[in-house]
Chains A and B, each alone.
Chain A
Amino acid sequence: MPKLKIDGIDIEVPPGTTVLQACEMLGVEVPRFCFHERLEIAGNCRMCLVEQEKAPKPIASCAMPAADNMVIHTNSPRARKARQGVMEFLLINHPLDCPICDQGGECDLQDQAMAYGFDRGRYRENKRAVKDKELGPLVKTIMTRCIHCTRCIRFATEIAGVEELGATGRGENMEVGTYVEKALTSELSGNIIDLCPVGALTSKPYAFTARSWELRKTESVDVLDAVGCSIRVDSRGPQVMRVLPRLNEAVNEEWISDKTRFAYDGLTRQRLDRPYVRRDGKLAPATWAEAFGEIARRMEGLAGTQMAAIAGDLADAESMYALRALMDALGSPNRDCRQDGAAIDPAVRASYLFNTTIAGIEAADVCLLVGTNPRWEAPLVNARLRKRWRRGGFEALRLGPEMPLTYDVTELGNDPAALGAIADGSHAAAERLKAAKAPMLIVGMGALARPDGAAVLAAARRVAEACGMVRDGWNGFNVLHTAAARVGGLEAGFVPGAGGRDVAGILGGAASGEIGLVWLLGADEIDMQRLGRAFVVYQGHHGDAGAHRADVILPGAAYTEKDGLYVNMEGRVQEGRRAVFPPGEAREDWKIIRAFSAVIGRPLPFDDLAAVRAALAAAAPLFATRETPAAAGWAAFGAPGPIAAHPFRSPVDDFYMTDAICRASITMAECSELYVRGGVAAHTGTHG
């Protein structure tokens, strides 16, 4: 335990701590550009120079291990002079174009130049100019601004796992880029925008649209996958201008996927901003009263069992609870939140949660992936797996479709029967799992959303039990969800009641005429053809598949427009907050259901958000908690049975096109075209 003195204060730090970290422990701020907590130390910007007594010259505190008897001065004249010198060198080639730079106002270089910059330039020669690089539709580059901190290079190499960025050339001719012009093939690429301490890498969709100080910042959670990343929604007036990650060590650390970050332009397109009623086969604009009246009229004469509700992937828990309460009031047990028909057992919590927790992945040493492609289904879970893999002593095994991941995987083929063999111990992988100290398995929706899903789930449970994955203090059984609403729906009881129909039963009933009315709460991922002649109410925010089929459209709010609770795949209850108001006549979803319940004379017993949440928490105590998910009890689940031979298939065919918001986003469409369908992105501006 080295003891050292920093600015006159004694401190004892754990071995291996750097001087800069020791300074931070004391709350002493040391300026830096290249150093980043989650990246390897580069030590090349020299901004963190501090004075060390008895050292011949200032030391780079980010790379210097703290040692006994060091005496450090972080703010001595010598340290300040050294930093001023570094700053002057950095500014030699940096264009002082802050007025037209998108980083302006949130730029590390700008901030630190205020503290260490010289009030005029002494450099009379020409500044160097660097050709901009084309990194795809998300990241805009102005490489002349680059100060060569290499954070983006290290992020791509270490975190994203795509070694595509590098520094070519040397000295004054050094350039950061891909050398061969190509877009970054990572679904985490947007994070290099946040990492860039200057305006060299900025957001292309956000370019020149707003200044950081004009934006209202709302802390919320992401709903575009089931990870539930912590985000900050930046809005101006009625519009979401950008989405940024928020630090959450337990979930997303400080990264978010490109879908989370860039799909926001979909929030302004294809929106349902007023009610519609289908008249003479065409959807016609209507008032709320007309829409409600039409639904009430069509409900008359229908028994409760002839009505059904399906919740979509983006629904918040309050609206699902409200819809469940409405269906209960109508006497309908037919409701389901599992659009894809995944054979999840709602009775046993451990059967549908990511029990290990996302942070818990770091304690695992072997991971079996079953029918899942985490890179596309949950990029941040994949990033965590890569983080664990990089540390060494970790092996990933995969039973499922071969898709490129960002770590080495031992392939076990794609024969679902192998799952049974692993459980029986007759498969070679069983030995590997049994020998592991902390084995885990991840079952994807690709393995569960198939007719034999219950049998697959049972086999996965047997694997977990046979290989010692479930024991005191460790649960290695994990289900990887793709829908943000799924766990919330299961917890809120949005599953078939006694004798009720599930999604397949509802669709079958609608096709055969046994179900006369189907209420879709943002459900767009079902086969609309199978709804037959049923009267369809679509409550949602985008004119997607569900709205096209609907007979009545009730315009709801997207996730940035309402306060809502979401439960992520770990069972973590998180609050999404309203950043902007819903467009036009659209309203928050639980309010729509509450208003309709009054129209049919069965008013639901809540009038404000607090009351809904209280009722929800009374029905499902989990919703009274926030953040920390409690361990779920283990019990038998799944239905043993034959597993079909046809191979597993990931439910996400196109990472950039998974829900109604993404499908309305131009940015996501460009990404899909470039990365998934393999087209060539149209070069913009002066390129190409």
Chain B
Amino acid sequence: MSAAIVEPAVFAFTPENAARADAIIARYPAGRQQSAVLPLLDLAQRQHGWLPRAAMDHVAAKLKMAPIRVYEVATFYTMFNLRPVGKHFLQACTTTPCWLRGSDEVVKACRTVLGIGVGESTADGQFSLVEVECLGACVNAPILQVNDDFYEDLDGPATERLLRALQNGETPPHGSVTGRQTSAPAGGPKTLTTLTFDAAPAAEGGE
């Protein structure tokens, strides 16, 4: 178990976020304002870095819900972090396609560079690593999600380079680290390598 979590006593949206929250709530028809619970929790998590109880209570009060109903939602979805996470929140996909493509190397690289395993955080609070289920980008497996960005086509050395760059305060461009275009074939195009256009079939009598 990690050290006891220090829960903030109070939480309130910043003025900008409060305005955004109001805009989100206004999307829903009258009497259905509680539907805004998920976007509001997300907003609170983005503001605070993680989701303390005070934030859930704040959302509950804002939506006039019983706090337990918000706790139920927040504990159900794994993307809400109910305990502090590092500044760089690493989510390694280890589901079958990523695993087949070497996600073990990605996880091992985190251990090598950061000294943390799955479910752990670095002492300086910079990095946290968790294992997640399919991130939905299997064509570019394996994937490491850092906060909101996907880094794709990783292997051990590439992951190490990525982590060291992050340690140095850089933000490498996200997407495929091998430089391939989205999910195009890894070694360059295999089909349609030349663009030759046959003359259009002769049409009797013109177009």
Sample of 18 A–B contacts (CB below 8 Å): A163-B68, A163-B69, A164-B66, A164-B68, A165-B68, A166-B68, A166-B69, A166-B72, A168-B72, A169-B75, A170-B75, A179-B67, A179-B68, A179-B71, A179-B72, A179-B75, A180-B53, A180-B71
Known pairs A178-B68, A180-B67 / 19 extra A-B pairs, C-beta < 8 Å: A157-B66, A163-B66, A163-B68, A163-B69, A164-B66, A164-B68, A165-B68, A166-B68, A166-B71, A166-B72, A167-B72, A168-B71, A168-B72, A168-B75, A169-B75, A170-B75, A179-B71, A179-B72, A179-B75
Residues 27-73 of B at the A interface (beta carbon under 8 Å): 53, 66-69, 71-72
**Complexed CA–CA distance, A395 and B75 (Å):** 35
Chain A residues with CB below 8 A from B76, complex form: 168-170
**Complexed CA–CA distance, A170 and B78 (Å):** 9
Residues 134-191 of A at the B interface (beta carbon under 8 Å): 157, 163-170, 178-180
Residues 142-191 of B at the A interface (beta carbon under 8 Å): none
Chain B residues with CB below 8 A from A170, complex form: 75-76
User: Closest CB-CB distance, A168 to chain B, in whole Å?
Assistant: 4
A175's nearest neighbour on chain B, judged by CB, is B75
Chain A residues with CB below 8 A from B72, complex form: 166-168, 179
Binary contact readout B92-119 vs A (1 if CB under 8 angstroms, 0 otherwise)? 0000000000000000000000000000
Chain B residues with CB below 8 A from A180, complex form: 53, 67, 71
A170's nearest neighbour on chain B, judged by CB, is B76
**Complexed CA–CA distance, A87 and B66 (Å):** 33
Most chain B beta-carbon neighbours within 10 Å: one of A157, A163, A168, A178: A168
Chain B residues with CB below 8 A from A157, complex form: 66
**Complexed CA–CA distance, A411 and B203 (Å):** 85
User: Closest CB-CB distance, A302 to chain B, in whole Å?
Assistant: 62
**Complexed CA–CA distance, A668 and B28 (Å):** 46
**Complexed CA–CA distance, A170 and B75 (Å):** 7
Chain B residues with CB below 8 A from A168, complex form: 71-72, 75-76
**Complexed CA–CA distance, A167 and B76 (Å):** 9
**Complexed CA–CA distance, A179 and B68 (Å):** 7
B65's nearest neighbour on chain A, judged by CB, is A163
Chain A residues with CB below 8 A from B53, complex form: 180
A167's nearest neighbour on chain B, judged by CB, is B72
**Complexed CA–CA distance, A679 and B108 (Å):** 52
A173's nearest neighbour on chain B, judged by CB, is B75
**Complexed CA–CA distance, A179 and B57 (Å):** 12
Most chain B beta-carbon neighbours within 10 Å: one of A163, A164, A170, A179: A179
Chain B residues with CB below 8 A from A166, complex form: 68-69, 71-72
B74's nearest neighbour on chain A, judged by CB, is A168
User: Closest CB-CB distance, B42 to chain A, in whole Å?
Assistant: 17
**Complexed CA–CA distance, A180 and B76 (Å):** 16
User: Closest CB-CB distance, A393 to chain B, in whole Å?
Assistant: 16
Most chain A beta-carbon neighbours within 10 Å: one of B53, B67, B69, B75: B75
**Complexed CA–CA distance, A180 and B75 (Å):** 12
**Complexed CA–CA distance, A178 and B72 (Å):** 10
**Complexed CA–CA distance, A444 and B67 (Å):** 33
B66's nearest neighbour on chain A, judged by CB, is A163
User: Closest CB-CB distance, A163 to chain B, in whole Å?
Assistant: 3
User: Closest CB-CB distance, A386 to chain B, in whole Å?
Assistant: 15
Chain B residues with CB below 8 A from A167, complex form: 72
**Complexed CA–CA distance, A462 and B179 (Å):** 87
**Complexed CA–CA distance, A167 and B68 (Å):** 8
Residues 624-663 of A at the B interface (beta carbon under 8 Å): none
A179's nearest neighbour on chain B, judged by CB, is B71
7 closest Cβ pairs, A-B complex: A163-B66, A166-B68, A168-B75, A179-B71, A166-B72, A170-B76, A169-B75
Residues 604-638 of A at the B interface (beta carbon under 8 Å): none
Chain B residues with CB below 8 A from A163, complex form: 66, 68-69
User: Closest CB-CB distance, B133 to chain A, in whole Å?
Assistant: 12
**Complexed CA–CA distance, A606 and B72 (Å):** 64
Chain B residues with CB below 8 A from A169, complex form: 75-76
Most chain A beta-carbon neighbours within 10 Å: one of B66, B68, B69, B71: B68
**Complexed CA–CA distance, A432 and B11 (Å):** 41
**Complexed CA–CA distance, A165 and B68 (Å):** 7
User: Closest CB-CB distance, A166 to chain B, in whole Å?
Assistant: 4
User: Closest CB-CB distance, B61 to chain A, in whole Å?
Assistant: 13
Chain B residues with CB below 8 A from A165, complex form: 68
Chain A residues with CB below 8 A from B71, complex form: 166, 168, 179-180
A164's nearest neighbour on chain B, judged by CB, is B68
Chain A residues with CB below 8 A from B66, complex form: 157, 163-164
**Complexed CA–CA distance, A166 and B70 (Å):** 10
A153's nearest neighbour on chain B, judged by CB, is B68
B78's nearest neighbour on chain A, judged by CB, is A170
**Complexed CA–CA distance, A650 and B96 (Å):** 66
**Complexed CA–CA distance, A167 and B72 (Å):** 6
**Complexed CA–CA distance, A184 and B53 (Å):** 19
Chain A residues with CB below 8 A from B67, complex form: 179-180
Binary contact readout B72-89 vs A (1 if CB under 8 angstroms, 0 otherwise)? 100110000000000000
**Complexed CA–CA distance, A163 and B69 (Å):** 8
User: Closest CB-CB distance, A683 to chain B, in whole Å?
Assistant: 18
B56's nearest neighbour on chain A, judged by CB, is A179
A166's nearest neighbour on chain B, judged by CB, is B68
